[in-house]
């Protein structure tokens, strides 16, 4: 028995016959089969009075399907929200039968005059059902999201709403007309964009819709509810006063949401009015135009005196040039040390006599240490610096007792010399500025705003003084994933922002294009970067023409540069002087570790200890022989640290840059290229290098892997193998191998010297020859460096190309 009937295109249930005084012999029809229905009243004995619709002149169970369909289409006990919405629709417009050639549907609300309807959706629904209903009429949809997590976001003026049902994400995309979300608050959500997004809000991740906030009047004006809803219904929804909860900012955690929010965040900061003592921090990905943003803000706030601070001196010089070109005169760029130096002169009225306190000179300031062991001198020099770098303890006695466990009269004496001007280091000047609040009397007087670039390389002492001793607004900009100077005592200041700081994110890089940008983003769990570059950037197996070659260590750089003609090295002359001085110190120490070895960005001291003076001289001479002017060079060599902040069309990463060793250094290196990224060490996946399987080939002693740049020898069982058999070739070993070739040693002599098999030596030489030719060098050079004949080299090239084609 169907639980409802259709009368004049409208749903009628048994109670409606009395409610609307309908004749019981009205021409009722069945929703499912369009057949006639009769209304019947009956009593079973003295109780169980029933009223129902039935098909006349049919056998029992003939119309079971009609009963099933009516139960699924219009249940008398609908959900409370759906029932409330239906109650507020005028009776002549509520639950109207709509038909198309392929479907039938009972519309929750329909206006015959306008030909438009509204669906009220409270439960899960399939895409097929949405399309079926939309096929019958022009339908706007209202989905009930009351009780879901939702926030109105101030920056961007949009609303996010957690998606209640999994299938709603697909269902809303199938709706042809308007979609509104009922929130239970004064504001509704107009879902103009039907995509689902991943965001982070208030420390949690959500799958959400992003919509426009709108009023109930907007819903009325853009649906047929304006003419079909009762006055009571309109009054009810207009009476809701509670507003949506508000959050300041949301963060994109998928490519789609990052594209949505990047523009909002940039527009907000460009128009933001900075308040007194306000702290704003912008996490900005590589190539996102951080410095350009700061220059634009300097122009916007031309009436303000702006102090621009950065850790790197080269960045200060770069910004000075841009300020001059743009004729911006209200911004003064300074390094941290330059600002401290200026503060010292302002407070003391004299130039500081700065020294670098080290074990070698500490006795000058405390003569008792003169004939004491080196380790004792090192201890006091290090602990003095540790006190100066401590941002929390300003009393030397407390520092000694709490950190060192006992009083230290010598440290107290050294600090006393600092206070009386007889011992001044850069660290001690910072400590005095912190203790005596030098910023408080200077920054607020001379500047209206402070901008800090490369915030990830900041100094804890400086950060504390800026936050505690100044009241001007402060803007911090940087990229947390580019924090690579921890060995110098730098901190990632983003991790130390005050709780009330506004932390924003810029996601777009204008340097790295897709598909490389998407690949890079997927390598890291916390890389929120999308491309807005006009470049198409690819990750390549090899390169031709000129390129920038990046290395993590000077060891790797120099051993490669010694076998690379037509090259140029950033800072080479200065580095040679440092290496010679360092080598002399190492010789005097008998090869022992330096006291400050942890202050080096790489393993240079260890590398130098492995060389004799003759080998060091040979290395420097052979590298120098390959060098040309920068403009004429084909390959430009840099360490990652020295190339930070720069870019080039083609950038090649040495295999010593390993994502497993240092994720941030890898990130800095791989985000320098605009068009092509060449990886010597293979393509990593989420921090794990892809290892290509070794394919046994009986006709070859070894194979050349063009992606990883390594030669791996086959290891045969039941054979006494050299110590290095089967191990990867390092850049250092490769350089020494080529030196052996230049000395015209035989393959047997070379194998013995390098503890490799003959096959491995031959394989590496063939690999190097193939790489030279791929990099654009002529055959004569490849022959000279590897000692191989042209026939052997051409054979290696052919086999390499064959394997590359097979991989494709």
243 or 70, greater pLDDT = 243
Q: Is the pLDDT of residue 425 over 70?
A: yes
Asked if residues 122 and 159 have their Cβ atoms less than 8 Å apart, the reply is: no
Residue 704 three-state SS:
strand
The band of 701, judged by pLDDT with boundaries at 50, 70 and 90, is very low
Which pLDDT band, with edges at 50, 70 and 90, does 718 fall under? very low
Q: Which of 46-50, 185-189, 581-585, 781-785 has the highest mean pLDDT?
A: 185-189
Please state the rounded mean pLDDT for residues 743-764. Answer: 76
Q: Are strands 150-153 and 246-247 parallel, antiparallel or unpaired?
A: parallel
- pLDDT bracket for residue 703 (50, 70, 90): very low
Residue holding tokens 């380790």? 375
DSSP character string of 237-258: HHT--PPPPEES--EE-SHHHH
Same domain? For 97 and 73 the reply is: no
Q: Which residues span the domain enclosing 570? A: 516-688
Instruction: Extract the runs of DSSP E, i.e. beta strands, from 55-149.
Output: 94-99, 104-111, 116-121, 138-144
Structural domain includes residue 432: no
Q: Is the domain of 230 the same as that of 125? A: yes
Is residue 120 pLDDT above 90, yes or no? yes
Q: Which are the contacts of 581, defined by CB distance < 8 A and separation ≥ 6?
A: none
Structural domains in the chain (count): 6
Three-class DSSP labels, 640-689: HHHHCCCCEEEEEECCCCCCCCCHHHHHHHHCCEEEEEEECCCCEECCEE
User: Is residue 641 situated within a structural domain?
Assistant: yes
Residues 633 and 730 reside in one and the same domain: no
How far apart CA 222 and CA 14 sit, in angstroms, is 34
Residue 39, pLDDT above cutoff 50: yes
> Per-residue confidence at 58, pLDDT binned at 50, 70, 90?
low
CA angle, 469 then 474 then 480, to 5°:
110
Evaluate whether residue 32 is within a structural domain: yes
Retrieve residue 288's tokens: 């996102």
Residue entry with tokens 């107290």: 412
pLDDT surpasses 80 at 751: no
User: Does 487 map to a domain?
Assistant: yes
Over residues 648-665, the mean pLDDT reads 93
What pLDDT, on a 0 to 100 scale, did the predictor assign at position 265?
98
Place of tokens 């004496």: 413
Which ranges in 459-515 belong to alpha helices (H)?
460-469
Q: Is the pLDDT of residue 709 over 60?
A: no
pLDDT digits (tens, 9 = 90+) for 383-420: 999 999 999 999 999 999 999 999 999 999 999 999 99
pLDDT at 104: 81
Instruction: Tell me whether the omega of the peptide bond preceding residue 682 falls within 30 degrees of 0, making it cis.
Output: no
In a shared domain, residues 100 and 171 = yes
pLDDT over 90 percentage in the chain: 60
Lowest mean pLDDT among 144-153, 417-426, 551-560, 763-772: 763-772
Q: Phi then psi for 525, rounded to 5 degrees?
A: -80, -15
| 71-108 per-position pLDDT tens digit | 555 544 446 888 889 889 998 898 888 887 777 888 99
Residues 233 and 159 in one domain: yes
366 DSSP 8-state letter: S
Is the torsion defined by CA of 672, 673, 678, 682 positive or negative? Answer: positive
Poorest-pLDDT segment among 373-377, 506-510, 728-732: 728-732
Of 469-478, 692-701, 747-756, 758-767, the least confident:
692-701
- Give the residue among 500, 639, 504 at the shortest CA–CA distance from 561: 639
What pLDDT digit, counting tens, does each position of 596-616 carry?
Answer: 544 555 578 888 888 888 999
Paired strand residues for 51: 41
Residue 428 forms part of a structural domain: no
Specify the pLDDT at position 803.
Answer: 65
pLDDT at site 83: 84
pTM of this prediction exceeds 0.85: no
Q: What is the average pLDDT across 547-552?
A: 96
* Same structural domain, 24 and 128: no
Instruction: Grade residue 689 by pLDDT with cuts at 50, 70 and 90.
Output: very low
Q: Say what angle helices 758-774 and 779-786 make with each other, to 10 degrees.
A: 150
Do residues 680 and 533 share a domain?
Answer: yes
Residues 126 and 73 in one domain: no
Are 320 and 384 members of one domain?
no
> Is the CB of residue 222 less than 8 Å from the CB of residue 178?
yes
- Using one digit for the tens of pLDDT, what is the confidence trace for 290-301? 989 999 999 999
Instruction: Name the phi and psi angles at 744, rounded to 5.
Output: 60, 35
- Number of Cβ within 10 Å of residue 44's Cβ equals 8
CA-based diameter of the chain, in Å?
122
Instruction: Say what the pLDDT of residue 712 is.
Output: 38
Residue 561, CB half-sphere, CA atoms under 13 Å: how many?
A: 32
Confidence of residue 537 (pLDDT cuts 50, 70, 90): very high
The pLDDT tens digits for 254-310 are 999 999 999 999 999 999 999 999 999 999 999 999 989 999 999 999 999 999 999
| pLDDT score of 798 more than 70 | yes
Check residue 694 and give its pLDDT.
30
Same domain, yes or no, for 324 and 389? no
Structure confidence at residue 582 as a pLDDT band (50, 70, 90) = confident
The region of weakest confidence among 57-61, 533-537, 780-784 is 57-61
Would 350 be classed as within a structural domain?
no
Distance CA 565, CA 632 (A): 11
Task: Judge if 99 and 236 occupy the same domain.
Answer: yes
Least confident of 439-443, 651-655, 772-776: 772-776
For 419-439, what is the mean pLDDT? 95
Q: Quick count: other Cβ atoms within 10 Å of Cβ 269? A: 21
Tell me whether residue 125 is in a domain: yes
Would you call 519 exposed, middle or buried from its count of C-beta atoms within 10 A (0-12, 13-18, 19+)?
A: middle
Mean of all residue pLDDT scores within the chain: 86
- Give domain status of residue 616, yes or no: yes
**So what's the pLDDT on residue 401?**
94
Amino acid 705: pLDDT? 33
**Mean pLDDT within 562-587:** 91
- Asked if 438 contacts 343 with a C-beta cutoff of 8 angstroms, the reply is yes
Domain closes at, from 44, 60, 77? 77
Q: Are residues 569 and 654 in the same domain?
A: yes
In order, the DSSP letters of 411-439 are HHHHHHHHHTTS-B-HHHHHHHHHHHTHH
User: Over 70: is that where the pLDDT of 695 sits?
Assistant: no
Give the least confident one: 99-113, 117-131, 334-348, 577-591. Answer: 577-591
Q: Is the pLDDT of residue 449 over 60?
A: yes
Residue 448's alpha-carbon distances to 73, 366, 440, 468, 523, in angstroms, are 67, 43, 13, 16, 41
- Please, which pLDDT band fits residue 588 given cuts at 50, 70 and 90? confident
Give 127's pLDDT tier (boundaries 50, 70, 90): very high
């Amino acid at each position: 028995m169907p639980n409802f009937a259709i009368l004049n295109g409208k749903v009628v249930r048994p109670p409606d016959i009395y409610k609307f005084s309908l004749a019981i012999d009205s021409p009722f029809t069945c929703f499912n089969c369009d057949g006639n229905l009769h209304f019947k009243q009956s009593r079973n004995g003295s109780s169980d009075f029933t009223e129902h619709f039935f098909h006349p002149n049919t056998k029992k169970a003939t119309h079971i399907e009609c009963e099933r369909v009516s139960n699924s289409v219009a249940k008398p006990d609908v959900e409370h929200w759906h029932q409330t919405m239906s109650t507020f629709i005028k009776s002549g417009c509520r639950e109207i039968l709509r038909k198309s050639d392929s479907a039938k549907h009972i519309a929750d609300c329909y206006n015959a005059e306008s030909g438009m309807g509204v669906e009220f959706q409270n439960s899960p629904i399939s895409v097929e059902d949405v399309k079926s209903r939309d096929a019958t009429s022009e339908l706007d949809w209202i989905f009930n999201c009351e009780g879901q997590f939702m926030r109105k976001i101030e920056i961007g003026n949009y609303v996010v709403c957690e998606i209640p049902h999994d299938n709603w994400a697909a269902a809303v995309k199938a709706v042809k007309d308007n979609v509104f979300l009922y929130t239970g608050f004064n504001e509704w959500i107009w879902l103009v964009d039907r995509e689902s997004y991943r965001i982070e809000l208030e420390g949690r991740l959500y799958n959400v819709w992003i919509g426009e906030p709108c009023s109930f009047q907007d819903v009325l004006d853009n649906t047929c509810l304006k003419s079909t809803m009762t006055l009571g219904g309109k009054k009810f929804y207009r009476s809701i006063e509670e507003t949506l909860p508000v959050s300041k900012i949301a963060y994109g955690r998928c490519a789609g949401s990052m594209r949505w929010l990047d523009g909002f965040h940039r527009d907000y900061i460009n128009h933001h009015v900075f308040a007194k003592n306000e702290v704003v921090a912008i996490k900005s990905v590589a190539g996102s135009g951080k410095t350009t943003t700061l220059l634009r803000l300097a122009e916007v706030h031309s009436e303000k005196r702006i102090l621009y601070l950065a850790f790197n001196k080269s960045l200060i010089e770069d910004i000075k040039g841009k300020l001059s070109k743009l004729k911006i005169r209200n911004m003064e760029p300074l390094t941290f040390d330059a600002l401290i130096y200026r503060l010292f002169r302002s407070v003391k009225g004299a130039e500081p006599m700065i020294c670098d306190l080290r074990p070698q000179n500490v006795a000058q300031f405390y003569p008792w240490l003169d004939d004491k062991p080196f380790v004792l001198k090192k201890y006091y020099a290090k602990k003095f610096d540790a006190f100066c770098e401590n941002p929390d303890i300003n009393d030397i006695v407390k520092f000694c007792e709490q950190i060192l466990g006992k009083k230290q009269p010598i440290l107290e004496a050294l600090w006393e010399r600092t206070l009386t001007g007889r011992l001044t280091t850069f660290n001690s000047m910072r400590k005095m500025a912190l203790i005596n609040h030098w910023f408080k009397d200077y920054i607020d007087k001379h500047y209206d705003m402070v901008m800090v670039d490369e915030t990830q390389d900041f100094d804890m002492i400086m950060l504390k003084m800026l936050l505690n001793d100044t009241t001007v607004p402060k803007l911090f900009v940087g990229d947390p994933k580019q924090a690579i100077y921890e060995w110098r005592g730098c901190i990632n200041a983003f991790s130390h922002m005050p709780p009330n700081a506004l932390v924003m994110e810029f996601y777009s890089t204008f340097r790295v294009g897709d598909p490389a940008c998407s690949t890079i983003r997927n390598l890291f769990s916390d890389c929120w970067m999308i491309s807005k570059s006009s470049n198409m950037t690819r990750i390549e197996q090899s390169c031709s023409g000129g390129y920038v070659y990046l290395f993590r260590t000077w060891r790797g750089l120099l051993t490669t540069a010694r076998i690379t003609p037509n090259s140029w090295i950033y800072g080479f002359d200065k580095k040679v002087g440092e290496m010679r001085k360092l080598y002399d110190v190492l010789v005097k120490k008998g090869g022992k570790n330096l006291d400050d070895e942890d202050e080096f960005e790489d393993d240079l001291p260890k590398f130098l200890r492995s060389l004799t003076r003759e080998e060091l001289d040979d290395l420097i001479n052979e590298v120098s022989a390959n060098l040309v002017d920068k403009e004429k060079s084909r390959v430009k060599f840099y360490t990652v640290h020295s190339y930070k902040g720069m870019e080039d069309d083609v950038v090649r990463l040495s295999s010593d840059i390993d994502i497993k060793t240092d994720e941030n250094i890898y990130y800095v290196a791989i985000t320098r290229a605009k068009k092509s990224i060449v990886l010597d060490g293979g393509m990593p996946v989420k921090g794990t290098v892809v290892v290509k399987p070794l394919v046994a080939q009986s006709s070859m002693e070894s194979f050349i892997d063009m992606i990883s740049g390594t030669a791996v020898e086959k290891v045969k069982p039941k054979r006494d193998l050299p110590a290095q058999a089967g191990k990867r070739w390092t850049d250092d070993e490769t350089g020494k191998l080529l030196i052996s070739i230049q000395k015209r040693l035989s393959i047997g002599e070379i194998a013995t010297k390098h503890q490799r098999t003959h096959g491995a030596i031959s394989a590496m030489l063939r690999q190097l020859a193939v790489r030279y030719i791929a990099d654009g060098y002529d055959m004569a050079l490849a022959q000279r460096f590897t000692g191989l004949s042209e026939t052997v080299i051409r054979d290696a090239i052919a086999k390499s190309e064959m394997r590359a084609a097979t991989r494709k």
